[in-house]
Amino acid sequence: MISDPWSYWTHMSKRSLGRPVYVVAGGVSKFAKSRKDKTFQAIVQEAVSSLYSDLGISFAEGREVFDSTVPSYFSDHFLRQLKGGAMVHDALGFCPKPSPGRLEAGGATGGHCFQKAVKEVASGDVDLCLAVGWETMSTVGTAKGNEFIALASDTFFDFPVGGYYNGYYAMMAVRHMVELGSSLSSFSKIAVKNHRNACFNPYAQEHYNLTLEGVLAEQNDLSMRIALPLTRSHICTMSDGAAAVAIASEEGLRILEQRGVKLSSVARVKGIGNGTDAMRMADRPCEQLPPLFPWEGPPAYENRGLWYPGVHSFRGARVACIGAYAMAGIDNPNLDLDVVELHDAYTSSELQTYEDMGLCRYGEGAAYIDHGFPFLKAVDYGFEVPSAGEGPVVNPSGGLLACGHPVGATGLMQAVFVLWQLQHSIGTHFGSEMLQVPDANVGAIHSHAGTGTYIAVSILEREEV
Amino acid sequence: MAAKKTQLDIYQTAMPLDPNALDPKSPHTDGWQYAIRYIRSLGEYTPFFIALSSKKFLVSRCENCSYWKRNYVYATPRPGLICMYCGMQCKWMEIEPRGKIHSFTICRYSAEMFKDEVPFALILVEFSGVDTLFMGKLRGVNLEQPTTESPQELEGWIKSFIGRPVKAEFRKLISPKKFDPTDVWFIPDDRVI
């Protein structure tokens, strides 16, 4: 559909946010399989309280100083409550202040909520906006939960034949193995990476010191098989939790300063982009070339006979990255980005996304993992990661695989973790410097929904105040 | 009457001596049943599902698509039967439903609605001369994933399914038609090509 990648890039480069927008603080609730201790409003209050305490302001000051909220959650089915957005806005004490209403974008709900809040500020409508997201998935059992999530696929054709998300991603993973040469061991290394990273993240739901041999051995354990080739450790868990992010204009920063808020560093939103694809992956085309980044000449993929995007690649992620990189002026993501929090609902989708994001070329995802590029130097994974630290570290927090995936909160959780990386405050927040990417200056957030139907990519850059 | 009963219920529930000291670890949970029958139209997809009951498989074709500069054929009909590239109305066309496995998986867990059916295999089918794929169940194959010594061995087993010829099988006339995509599934096609 994008016939001329260079003119498309130029077109996308002309976009701007209109005025500078900053991420100033974030907060995350405890993520757990089941949070029966609190109502959903109180779990969101927990995330917002932690954001306020980072800013050194009280709940009363927060409701006074912020102009609006953008609430987000994925599923009315899980919540069994419509207008949950209005109820959270209310519970945060914001009435009668404005709110543009609840945002929903499947698995990318949090990432799109973040971008919506950014646009609220960029447009000049508000100076200080709270993006809040949550999901309480423990209201039903796992099988019913999988059914609710599967209702976010085509219910005329795909769901009735037994389709559900683990199965869809499994078919995408298999096709990626056939088409672009990924392997079970490369997927398994991602499971080890994210779970071992999470051992140093107190906010993570799972703290499992996985081994590569252990993850591979799950294939021979009937109870661990979910949807071939994905076993238990390749798939994120359902979760209850909330996350919140504070977005500000320059005027917003001044307002906070007048309140006595002391910020040593913030993150400037350098670029945002989003992309989409057909709901039914069966409908996606098999064109010859991906939408290219300007630094990839067409020869990169010539004579490869590549089916693109087919069901093995996320075309929407490539388009989202073109939008975000072009706005941010990123022309070498491997050098320009220091840290990426990427939507790893499945190990396979993390690997697929390396290629979509241009961290490596299509077909090089497995080699990218095997060389150890997205790993942290400081963490012991039990296998060699010779190139650790040479590219952006991907999912130092542990990602969705280990932190959990309370859908509406997830993209905002990623924003919080990237902000803390850029503020160099991982040590303060996690109680350990292990996951701090040294000198992190530029970070990317990648939020993804429904086999790649909605994808939001945002680029943040550290700025001293 | 109902209000009076609620009043009684309140009096019968013991209040904690100090509500501020309520143990947050033992909250009360409520339960809620929500069962509903949706009546949803299959609309423009109707001919596809009616055809399945006659053991026919319809695809939809954009004739002389102005984007692709040729006929573009959808295995799964598009909403409104509108071509997603040029916006023209597609025409139904019957094909012989024989194809190849484009991708596959074996589901050992599922959505609750299908939990009695596991394990089952899902596939995406490529039909020759058709541009998009069709998702369905694969039957008539051994779904026992072998115990493997190495990841490469398992990869080999997985990949052995890819490209295998399959053909559609339709729900028998005697059994009630569901008029949903489970009226068709796929089995290995052993016909020599």
pLDDT reading at A117 higher than 90: yes
Which pLDDT band, with edges at 50, 70 and 90, does A28 fall under?
very high
Task: Note the pLDDT of residue B190.
Answer: 82
Residue contact A160–B148, C-beta within 8 A: no
pLDDT reading at A91 higher than 70: yes
Residue pLDDT, tens place only, A400-419: 999 999 999 999 999 999 99
Query: In sequence order, what are the residues at sequence separation of 6 or more whose Cβ sits closer than 8 angstroms to the Cβ of residue B92?
Result: B47, B48, B51, B58, B59, B60, B61
| C-alpha–C-alpha distance, residues B154 and B147, integer Å | 8
Task: Note the pLDDT of residue B156.
Answer: 97
Q: Please, what is the angle between helix A84-91 and helix A40-55, to 10°?
A: 40
Task: Considering only the beta carbons, identify the residue of A80, A170, A227 that sits closest to B32.
Answer: A80
* Between A161 and B3, the higher pLDDT residue: A161
- Residues of chain B contacting A283 with CB distance shorter than 8 Å: 74, 76, 78, 84, 132-133
Which pLDDT band, with edges at 50, 70 and 90, does A7 fall under?
confident
**Which segments within A277-329 are labelled E, that is strand?**
286-287, 308-309
Instruction: Give the amino acid at A15.
Output: R
Identify the three-state secondary structure at position A75: coil
Identify the three-state secondary structure at position A465: coil
- Residues of chain B contacting A219 with CB distance shorter than 8 Å: 145, 148, 151, 154
Residue pLDDT, tens place only, B51-70: 998 999 999 999 999 999 99
- The Cα-based distances of A43 to A53, A84, A191 in angstroms read 15, 13, 28
Pick from B104, B110, B178 the residue to mutate for testing the A interface (most A CBs within 10 Å). Answer: B110
B100 contacts B163 by C-beta, under 8 angstroms: yes
> Could you give phi then psi for residue B126, rounded to 5 degrees?
-100, 125
Residue contact A184–B109, C-beta within 8 A: no
Residue pLDDT, tens place only, A136-166: 999 999 999 999 999 999 999 999 999 999 9
Which pLDDT band, with edges at 50, 70 and 90, does A450 fall under?
very high
User: Percent of chain A, pLDDT > 70?
Assistant: 98
Residue reference for tokens 């990237």: A418
Which pLDDT band, with edges at 50, 70 and 90, does A449 fall under?
very high
pLDDT reading at A10 higher than 80: yes
Query: In sequence order, what are the residues at sequence separation of 6 or more whose Cβ sits closer than 8 angstroms to the Cβ of residue A194?
Result: A344, A347, A350, A395, A398, A399, A401, A402
Q: Tell me the mean pLDDT in the region A323-350.
A: 97
Torsion of CA B99, B105, B109, B112, to 10 degrees: -30
The ipTM of this complex is 0.95
| C-alpha–C-alpha distance, residues A444 and A452, integer Å | 17
Closest residue in B to A278 (Cα–Cα): B84
Which pLDDT band, with edges at 50, 70 and 90, does A303 fall under?
low
Residue contact B158–A183, C-beta within 8 A: no
| C-alpha–C-alpha distance, residues A85 and A73, integer Å | 8
Least reliable range by pLDDT among A9-13, A38-42, A333-337: A9-13
The one-character DSSP state at A411 is H
Which pLDDT band, with edges at 50, 70 and 90, does A291 fall under?
confident
Task: Note the pLDDT of residue B179.
Answer: 85
Which pLDDT band, with edges at 50, 70 and 90, does A60 fall under?
very high
Cis peptide before A96 (omega within 30 of 0): yes
Pick from A1, A140, A157, A347 the residue to mutate for testing the B interface (most B CBs within 10 Å). Answer: A157
Task: Considering only the beta carbons, identify the residue of B75, B84, B113 that sits closest to A282.
Answer: B75
Residue contact B105–A171, C-beta within 8 A: yes
Task: Note the pLDDT of residue B127.
Answer: 97
Geometric angle at alpha carbon A263, from A260 and A265, rounded to 5° = 165
Residue pLDDT, tens place only, A205-255: 999 999 999 999 999 999 999 999 999 999 999 999 999 999 999 999 999
Task: Note the pLDDT of residue A3.
Answer: 64
**Residue A442 pairs with which residues in a beta bridge?**
A461
Task: Note the pLDDT of residue A208.
Answer: 96
Pick from B70, B109, B177 the residue to mutate for testing the A interface (most A CBs within 10 Å). Answer: B109
**Residue A243 pairs with which residues in a beta bridge?**
A28, A133
Half-sphere exposure of A332 (CA within 13 A, CB side): 4
pLDDT reading at B2 higher than 60: no
Residue contact A172–B124, C-beta within 8 A: no
| C-alpha–C-alpha distance, residues A43 and A291, integer Å | 41
Task: Note the pLDDT of residue B14.
Answer: 60
Residue B189 structure tokens: 């096609």
Rounded CA Rg of chain B = 26
| C-alpha–C-alpha distance, residues A253 and A237, integer Å | 37
pLDDT reading at B7 higher than 70: no
Task: Note the pLDDT of residue A1.
Answer: 54
Pick from A147, A174, A225, A279 the residue to mutate for testing the B interface (most B CBs within 10 Å). Answer: A174
Which pLDDT band, with edges at 50, 70 and 90, does B8 fall under?
very low
Rounded mean pLDDT of chain A?
Answer: 96
Task: Note the pLDDT of residue B3.
Answer: 47
- Residue A127 to chain B, least CA–CA distance (Å): 37
pLDDT reading at A454 higher than 50: yes
| C-alpha closest to that of B124 among A123, A384, A163, A156 | A163
* Between B127 and B19, the higher pLDDT residue: B127
Least reliable range by pLDDT among A111-120, A393-402, B23-32: B23-32
pLDDT reading at A86 higher than 90: yes
Task: Note the pLDDT of residue B10.
Answer: 46
Give me the DSSP letters along chain B: -HHHHHHHHHHHSPPPS-GGG--TTS----------------GGGHHHHHHHHTT-EEEEEEEEETTTTEEEEESSPPGGGB-TTT-PBPEEEEE--EEEEEEEEEESS--GGGGGG-SEEEEEEEETT-SS-EEEEE-SS---PPP-SSHHHHHHHHHTTTT-EEEEEE--TTSPP--SGGGEEEEE-----
Task: Considering only the beta carbons, identify the residue of A143, A164, A216 that sits closest to B151.
Answer: A216
B167 contacts B98 by C-beta, under 8 angstroms: yes
Instruction: Give the amino acid at B41.
Output: S
Least reliable range by pLDDT among A275-284, A303-312, A329-338, B77-86: A303-312
Task: Note the pLDDT of residue A292.
Answer: 87
Q: How many CB pairs under 8 A join A and B?
A: 149
A267 contacts A22 by C-beta, under 8 angstroms: yes
Residue pLDDT, tens place only, B67-109: 999 999 999 999 999 999 999 999 999 999 999 999 999 999 9
Distance of CA A440 to the CA centre of its chain: 18
Task: Note the pLDDT of residue A304.
Answer: 63
Geometric angle at alpha carbon A14, from A13 and A16, rounded to 5° = 95
User: Percent of chain A, pLDDT > 90?
Assistant: 92
Residue contact A171–B123, C-beta within 8 A: yes
The one-character DSSP state at A433 is S
Residue contact B24–A159, C-beta within 8 A: no
pLDDT reading at B11 higher than 50: no
- Residue B9 to chain A, least CA–CA distance (Å): 23
Instruction: Give the amino acid at A178.
Output: V
